[in-house]
Structure 1
Amino acid sequence: MELKFAAIARPNKATADVQRRQKLVRRIDQQIGYVRQIIDGKQPRAAWAWMDEAGTYFLPIKYGRQPLELKKGMFSIQCADLDHVEAALCAVRAIVLKGDLDDQLAKASTDIRAKFKS
């Protein structure tokens, strides 16, 4: 294996946007593990995905305990099965890392912070 060196140092402090992205990505990674546990027959208590009466899975993306509005008026992703739930989590993870949900994360962070001030 060949090593690739870079002339860059770690920044002293990440920006607020980067910190929020990293927090959400860690939770998404945790949820991917929960979906794999569900596939194996276990029932983790903190899984985001849930199933309706018809057998369709829904996946809200949460920041803290608050679901994010992914599109106007849309708070969850509809999935056919657990494999689709896992694929959706991986797709959302990539979207978060690109910064496409920064506005929603900033709003959710502000809303959460406002609850503590009152």
Structure 2
Amino acid sequence: MSTLDGLKLSTAKKPAHIPAVVFRRNKLSNKLWEQIQLAKSQIDGTSFAVKKFRTVKDKETGLRKSVEVNKRLREWWFKNELGKVCFCVKYGSRPLELAKGKHSVEVGNPAELVKALELVKSAVEAGELDAQIELASGAVRKGFGR
């Protein structure tokens, strides 16, 4: 056991399921990570693609198989009438209201965009936007009802 003596051992177990708040927080955090990487790649002049698997049916054999395809990423940022870069944080297709009546963040240039996205990502991971995520999640769920 001398090899394991340098490790801190505990009795922690992996939870069977994670709470809905944490799941939504992680989902938004992952989307923000994609936006950060997309912004960095545009600044560097490179391309960025996230892969996902899609199941397709082979027309000749009739069998289903998984194919890796690029995920379509849309930019959350745009230029306003003054030429400043603005971005909206979205949960699904719904923009989050970051403050009363304010849905977007204005930054001066693309380098500041990356810093602002990272700041919002850290706020999401800290749980500061849980109420806004809950409202947006309820609106998205409501759209699926009949």
Asked whether the two chains share a fold, i.e. TM above 0.5, the reply is yes
Report whether the alignment pairs 1:111 with 2:139: yes
- Which residue, 68, 81, 90 being the options, matches 2:96? 68
Distance in 1 between residues matched to 2:39 and 2:134, nearest whole Å: 27
Distance in 2 between residues matched to 1:7 and 1:57, nearest whole Å: 48
Greater C-alpha Rg: 2
Counterparts in 2 of 1:3 and 1:59: CA distance versus 1, 3 Å: farther
- Which residue, 31, 38, 56 being the options, matches 2:35? 31
Where does structure 1 lack aligned partners over 5 or more consecutive residues? Answer: none
Q: Higher helix share goes to which structure?
A: 1
Equivalent residues in 2 for 1:97-108 (5 A)?
A: 97-108=125-136
- Return structure 1 stretches of 4+ with deviation > 6 angstroms: none
Could you tell me how far 1:40 is from its partner in structure 2? 2.4
TM-score w.r.t. the length of structure 2 is: 0.73
Q: How many residues align?
A: 117
Where does structure 2 lack aligned partners over 5 or more consecutive residues? Answer: 1-5, 49-72
Q: Secondary structure at the match of 1:88?
A: helix
- Which residue, 73, 78, 92 being the options, matches 2:120? 92
Counterparts in 2 of 1:43 and 1:68: CA distance versus 1, 3 Å: farther
Report the counterpart of residue 19 of structure 1 in structure 2: 23
Q: Higher strand share goes to which structure?
A: 2
Range that drifts further, 38-47 or 13-22: 38-47
- Alignment RMSD: 1.8
Report whether the alignment pairs 1:48 with 2:76: yes
